[in-house]
């Protein structure tokens, strides 16, 4: 126990020694200080083996998966490991009551059985380049904020276009860093033929469901396996039976040696967004408007969905993916607001801002430029508070609420003049939305959303249809919803079909759902216009604040906020103390699965098929067992991650795969705003558990033989 306590203390103090755990670092811009910190923690690879634009390196095995997750290439034939929840919508699309891959899992016994997913792509990073001078060269001191934004956007677009003109298989994207004070070009190559190869049953991939989501200790086998296919010369190609498995530049080796407390661990992936430099006023805005709207509105919507999903398998399959996505961010918002209060994040931010105010006052050059920075930020956030609250509840209640409204808005905004491929993909997305829609459920959601929005905003923010409900329907929301759903042609694909075929007997603008959509668009535009000037002022002053912080603490090693570009985080495998009197170990085993099944008997979140329970009880773990003969399931490190990191590769000091990141922990949910070194942990699924499930449960030995497995045992 004493040794374990010492290890935990060493782990937690590492942030103060080399600041090793905090930071999402740009691989193409690792400075000497960061490289030194990695080596001091135990990294055994040179920097050019992590990232190189000229020769294969570890970054070439890491992909952006679908633009919303991460993944890692693990075989010479293009196998990709990512999270189960990242592949969940693909598994759902291929599922039916007869072939319930969500419940039973999926295994392709040969290449011909691998299932295509036209909406999916994987993105490889080829190189990055600092283009700050070129972008900001277009900015003039006399420009207003809208003029500055327009000039910056024009140059960013031009740089991106140059990449595609030189090579049509490449994608160039210029992203803003440090609040718009720096700009970097990332050059990618996308592969669009991505096929499902293996998915565990949801009792493994989603074990614990909402109950365990964002919580440690965790026992979720959150993994899925896909394969990338390519056309001639290993180049990107749309799906075709003629395509062949992609031959990667670099394949991540897989380690069976596991980890110990204090082992070096690094995570490579595509984190979505963080707001570490955001002002305290911005944090309050996030808490009270955006997060609270998600908490209130999604809780109502999800309760309706879940009730019907539990009643019928057909509805469970239809609604599984959208429920999963919605509930993930719903619980995240709950956790973020809770952690902000519990960890006193606002107080810490305000203390830093007081230091900054003093520095500005005491530094003549800064005082001249920034004297009004904080008063202006406070005033502009105050001026937009109510309108932004209305926009947050508007988005959740209507834009992300009833699917009839989403369909109407999709049709209203449809671009028939775009590229044929894009038009076809957008039409397919609309048709799939119909396939996963139950009208009675959606009508109940619509009625609940109308009521919830009315109760949360000032009457000046109500769209015109609320007046119709009051006058024509006597204030009866349900009666209005019944009439709307009965009269609209868009409740089935028939209305869309009539519109696409130019049916002269059908004027789509007479459809009540389309009229409602126009009403909503008009109101949203009106509210947005109320915030436009203040929003521009806020963007400018948050950018100035970001730059001022870096000048004041010029000796510190700063990293930019996450922005969906490839990032490296590093630290150590270690447990933590969530509250007084409790210690959490750094890994879990299948023993915990058996214990949770027994403890939560009758709870569908913890139901596991008998054959799986038998597999765990038999303890035939073979070469995948840990040191004590147990089957490790999950582990934690102090690597710095956020949304988008799901599916990220977790590597050891030699660049060998240890597992896949899939979650953060409940006690540090405010980490997107402020890193808490003693609390924040990255939860990963152990790669040995992944291989065990593929081989022992899936009987997919051919997949195991594709992998580059290493072990020093």
Q: Which of 174, 187, 180 is nearest to 136 (CA)?
A: 180
Q: Which of 205, 206, 171 is nearest to 186 (CA)?
A: 171
Residue 416 belongs to some domain of the structure? yes
**Residue 3's pLDDT is what?**
37
Q: Are 294 and 407 found together in one domain? A: yes
Residue 270 belongs to some domain of the structure? no
Per-residue model confidence as pLDDT tens digits over 155-170: 999 999 999 999 999 9
Q: Are 219 and 306 found together in one domain? A: no
Residue 566 belongs to some domain of the structure? no
Q: Are 57 and 129 found together in one domain? A: no
**Catalytic, out of 280, 646, 648, 671:** 646
Q: Are 313 and 431 found together in one domain? A: yes
**Residue 11's pLDDT is what?**
42
Q: Are 179 and 238 found together in one domain? A: no
The token duo for 672 is 């997107």
**Residue 8's pLDDT is what?**
40
The per-residue b/e assignment along 541-580, b for 16 or more CB within 10 angstroms, e otherwise, is bbbbbbbbbeebeeeebebbbbbbbbbbbbbbbbbbebee
**Catalytic, out of 21, 60, 212, 222:** 222
Give catalytic status of residue 646 as yes or no: yes
Give catalytic status of residue 53 as yes or no: no
**Helix, strand, coil % in the chain, rounded to nearest 5:** 55, 15, 30
Q: Are 612 and 474 found together in one domain? A: no
Q: Are 645 and 577 found together in one domain? A: yes
Distance CA 518, CA 437 (A): 22
Q: Are 243 and 285 found together in one domain? A: no
**Residue 13's pLDDT is what?**
35
Q: Are 187 and 197 found together in one domain? A: no
Domain boundary among 167, 191, 215: 191
Domain boundary among 191, 208, 240: 191
Strands 254-255 and 709-710: what pairing?
parallel
Q: What are phi and psi of 366, to 5 degrees?
A: -75, -40
Per-residue model confidence as pLDDT tens digits over 224-269: 999 999 999 999 999 999 999 999 999 999 999 999 999 999 999 9
The stretches in the chain having pLDDT less than 70 are 1-20, 713
**Catalytic, out of 60, 70, 75, 85:** 85
**Residue 495's pLDDT is what?**
78
Total domain count for the chain? 3
Identify the H or E element spanning 123.
strand 122-130
Under the phi-then-psi rule, with left for phi > 0, alpha for psi from -120 to 50, and beta for the rest, what region is 179?
left
**Residue 713's pLDDT is what?**
59
Distance CA 631, CA 616 (A): 8
- How far separated are the first and last CA of the chain, in Å rounded? 26
Q: Do residues 58 and 657 make contact, with C-beta atoms less than 8 angstroms apart?
A: no
Residue 271 belongs to some domain of the structure? no
Give catalytic status of residue 222 as yes or no: yes
0.95 exceeded by the pTM?
Answer: no
Q: Are 128 and 116 found together in one domain? A: no
Residue 656 belongs to some domain of the structure? yes
Q: Are 667 and 690 found together in one domain? A: yes
3-class SS string, 459-495: HHHCCCHHHHHHHHCCCCHHHHHHHHHHHCHHHCHHH
Torsion angle in degrees (nearest 10) through CA of 566, 571, 575, 577: -90
**Residue 600's pLDDT is what?**
96
**Residue 427's pLDDT is what?**
79
Residue 562 belongs to some domain of the structure? no
Identify the H or E element spanning 190.
strand 182-191
Q: Are 400 and 442 found together in one domain? A: yes
Residue 454 belongs to some domain of the structure? yes
**Residue 12's pLDDT is what?**
38
Q: What are phi and psi of 184, to 5 degrees?
A: -130, 140
Residue 274 belongs to some domain of the structure? no
Provide the domain limits for residue 668: 2-121+192-265+572-710
Q: Which of 88, 608, 94 is nearest to 320 (CA)?
A: 88
Q: Do residues 660 and 650 make contact, with C-beta atoms less than 8 angstroms apart?
A: yes
């Amino acid at each position: 126990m004493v040794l374990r306590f010492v290890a935990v203390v060493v782990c937690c103090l590492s942030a103060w020694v080399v600041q090793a755990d905090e930071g999402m670092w740009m691989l193409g811009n690792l400075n000497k200080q960061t490289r030194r910190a990695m080596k001091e923690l135990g990294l055994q690879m040179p920097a050019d083996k992590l990232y190189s634009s000229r020769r294969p390196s570890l970054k070439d095995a890491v992909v952006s998966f679908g633009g919303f997750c991460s993944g890692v290439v693990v075989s010479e034939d293009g196998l990709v490991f990512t999270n189960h929840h990242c592949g969940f919508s693909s598994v759902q699309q291929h599922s039916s009551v007869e072939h319930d891959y969500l419940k039973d899992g999926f295994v392709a016994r040969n290449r011909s059985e691998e299932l295509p997913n036209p909406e999916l792509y994987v993105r490889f990073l080829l190189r990055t380049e600092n283009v700050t001078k070129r972008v900001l060269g277009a900015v003039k001191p006399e420009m207003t904020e809208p003029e500055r934004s327009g000039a910056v956007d024009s140059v960013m677009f031009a740089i991106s276009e140059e990449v595609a003109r030189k090579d049509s298989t490449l994608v160039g994207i210029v992203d803003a860093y440090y609040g718009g004070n720096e700009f970097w070009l990332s050059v990618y190559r996308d592969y669009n033929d991505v096929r499902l190869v293996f998915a565990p049953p949801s009792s493994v991939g989603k074990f614990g469901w909402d109950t365990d989501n964002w919580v440690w200790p965790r026992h979720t086998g959150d993994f899925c396996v896909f394969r990338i296919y390519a056309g001639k010369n290993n180049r990107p190609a749309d799906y075709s039976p003629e395509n062949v498995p992609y031959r990667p530049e670099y394949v991540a080796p897989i380690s069976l040696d596991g980890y110990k407390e204090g082992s070096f661990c690094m995570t490579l992936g595509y984190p979505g967004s963080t707001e570490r430099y955001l002002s305290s006023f911005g944090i309050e805005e996030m808490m009270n408007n955006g997060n609270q709207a998600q908490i209130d509105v999604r809780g109502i919507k999800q309760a309706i969905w879940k009730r019907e999903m539990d009643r019928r398998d057909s509805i469970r399959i239809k609604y599984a993916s959208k429920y999963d996505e919605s509930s993930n961010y719903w619980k995240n918002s709950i956790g973020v607001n809770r952690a902000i209060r519990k960890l006193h994040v606002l107080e810490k931010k305000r203390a830093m801002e007081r230091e900054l105010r003093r520095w500005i006052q005491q530094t003549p050059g800064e005082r001249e430029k920034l004297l009004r920075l904080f008063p202006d930020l406070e005033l502009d956030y105050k001026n937009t508070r109510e309108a932004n609250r209305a926009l947050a509840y508007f988005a959740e209640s209507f834009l992300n609420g009833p699917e009839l409204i989403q369909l109407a808005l999709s049709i209203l905004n449809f671009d028939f003049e775009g590229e044929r491929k894009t038009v076809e993909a957008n039409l397919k997305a609309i048709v799939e939305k119909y396939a996963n829609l139950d009208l009675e459920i959606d009508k109940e959601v619509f009625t609940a959303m109308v009521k919830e929005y009315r109760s949360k905003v000032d009457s000046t923010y109500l769209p015109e249809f609320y007046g119709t409900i009051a006058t024509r329907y006597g204030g009866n929301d349900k009666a209005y919803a019944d009439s709307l759903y009965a009269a609209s042609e868009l409740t089935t694909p028939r209305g869309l079909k009539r519109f696409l075929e130019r049916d002269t007997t059908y004027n789509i603008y007479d459809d009540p759902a389309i009229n409602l959509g126009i009403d909503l668009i008009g109101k949203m535009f009106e509210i947005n216009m109320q915030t436009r000037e203040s929003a521009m002022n806020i963007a400018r002053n948050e950018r100035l604040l970001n730059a001022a912080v870096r000048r004041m603490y010029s000796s510190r090693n700063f990293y930019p906020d996450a922005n969906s570009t490839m990032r490296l985080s590093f630290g150590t495998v270690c447990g933590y103390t969530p509250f007084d009197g409790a210690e959490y170990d750094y890994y879990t085993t299948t023993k915990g699965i058996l214990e949770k099944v027994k403890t939560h008997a009758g709870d569908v979140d913890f139901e596991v098929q008998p054959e799986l329970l038998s597999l765990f009880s038999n303890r035939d773990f073979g070469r995948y067992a840990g040191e004590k003969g147990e089957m490790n399931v999950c582990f934690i490190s102090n690597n710095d991650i956020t949304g988008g990191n799901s599916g990220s590769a977790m590597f050891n000091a030699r660049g060998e795969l240890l597992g896949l990141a899939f979650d953060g922990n409940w006690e540090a949910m405010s980490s997107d705003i402020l890193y808490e070194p003693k609390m924040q942990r990255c939860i990963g699924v152990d790669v040995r558990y992944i291989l065990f499930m593929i081989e022992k449960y899936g009987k997919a030995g051919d997949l195991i033989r594709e992998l580059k497995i290493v072990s020093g045992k």
